[in-house]
Amino acid sequence: MFTRRALIAATAVTLGAVGVALAATDDTDTASAQLATAASAQLEQRPTTTSARKAVSYGEELPANWAVVGVAPGDVLEVRQAPGTSAAIVATLAADLEGIESTGRTAVVDGTTWREIQVPGATTGWAAAVYLDIM
């Protein structure tokens, strides 16, 4: 079981330099107050934006091998630099390509699930999950 002081110290470490200052404080009430003040100050310093951004939710799954599905013969699956249709296209995959390795990372943008994949002979990129089926 953690003592109150250990919990304060562990939390302080996550605040970086503030943790060093708190480590020298033996008074747990003082340390708690300093920690709350420091955390509040850090939250206020976080950048904010008023521009409209797309909500992105990231997840993880086990890496697997995938095949392109649902793409018309002669057409290609576009692989993008980031999840979402507004990201730059970094590669295209043939409609019948199989054995595509995933990194295990997923993201949801505007209700569409994207999988990060290893582009054959290149880098990683993101493809809409609806066009990938596990092998």
The full set of domain ranges for the chain reads 4-45, 57-134
**What's the pLDDT score for residue 63?**
76
How many angstroms separate the Cα of 46 from the Cα of each of 15, 41, 88? Answer: 13, 9, 28
Task: State which fold the 57-134 domain adopts.
Answer: SH3 type barrels. (2.30.30)
**What is the rounded CA–CA span in Å between residue 74 and residue 72?**
6
pLDDT digits (tens, 9 = 90+) for 38-53: 544 444 443 333 334 4
- Which of the pair, 26 or 12, is modelled with greater confidence? 26
Query: For residue 93, what pLDDT band results from cuts at 50, 70 and 90?
Result: very high
The neighbouring-strand residues paired with 124 are 118
Global pTM exceeds 0.75: no
Q: Which residue spans within 1-135 are E strands per DSSP? A: 56-60, 65-68, 76-80, 89-94, 100-109, 112-118, 124-128, 132-134
Give the span between the Cα atoms of 108 and 127, in whole angstroms. Answer: 11
